[in-house]
Amino acid sequence: MQNCKNCNTEFDGNYCSNCGQRPNNGRIILKESVRDVLEHYFDFDAPLFRTIKGMVTNPGIITREYIFGKRKSYSHPFRYFILVLAVYIILIQLLNFNSIEAFSEAIGALELPNPNTDSSRASNFLREHINTFLLIYAFTLAFFAKLFNRKSGFYLVEYLSLSFFIIAEYILFSIFIILLTFVLPKIFLLNYLIVIIYPIYVLVRFHEGNLFMRLLKATFVSVFGWLTYATTSFTISFLIVKVFSL
């Protein structure tokens, strides 16, 4: 028997029966630190990779299991959202990627929009603060999911968890699309298709019942959720750059 250094519980085995921590001698050792990092982020059976894979292959099962209590098997939806968003922000900074320029190139625009107009400045403000505005998208998606599925039995906060899973996975798709954009510029337009189609796919797999009704409701949720987010975010951005002359 040994005492856990984290919670002082007496246990026998490879993990503490109370908090799950491995036994250690109370000091930080390089070998253990490297092992913990590799297992947490690069173990393909770890919660992170299980979540990434599951949100593509079985999003309905993943999200329902998480909501119904199977929490240790998957990443926490908000932490997953923050992690993927951080990778996205770092990537676009390193690549000096501009979504407005990428969109213009993808549609074959001969010249970029005038950057001095209020609408252009608002678009740039939104792009630069996308990490904050995506929180609005999570709430609008959750709100409409609850609105169109009032009899589902799920709480609004549970739909919010579902929304963070959806948005995080969408951002992950966007990362790959951005990388491919440098080879094939027109592929950037795929972003606008995925942002509508992927939530529909997840919501249809998440709910039970008549397939046609699930598809219809999921389409309304996805379209209204995204349009409300886009309109609200742009309006806020426009007002901020207008009032503060940014």
- Per-residue pLDDT tens, the chain, 246 aa: give them: 778 767 888 878 777 878 777 777 666 666 766 666 666 555 545 788 889 999 999 999 999 999 998 888 898 899 899 989 999 999 999 998 888 788 888 888 767 777 788 888 888 898 888 888 999 999 999 999 999 999 999 999 999 999 999 999 999 999 999 999 999 999 999 999 999 999 999 999 999 999 999 999 999 999 999 999 999 999 999 999 988 876
Cα–Cα distances in angstroms (integers) from residue 29 to residues 6, 13, 49, 175, 233, in the given order: 16, 20, 26, 35, 47
Where do the H-state alpha helices sit in the chain?
Answer: 30-42, 47-57, 59-67, 77-95, 99-106, 118-128, 130-148, 156-181, 190-206, 211-243
Start-to-end Cα distance in the chain: 63
Closest CA to 51 of 70, 34, 29: 70
- β-pairing, 2-3 vs 10-11, is antiparallel
Sign, CA torsion 234/240/245/246: negative
pLDDT at 229: 96
Phi/psi-derived region of residue 212, left when phi > 0, alpha when psi is between -120 and 50, beta in every other case: alpha
pLDDT at 37: 61
The pTM of this model reads 0.83
pLDDT at 209: 92
CA distance 135 to 28: 37
β-pair partners for 3? 10
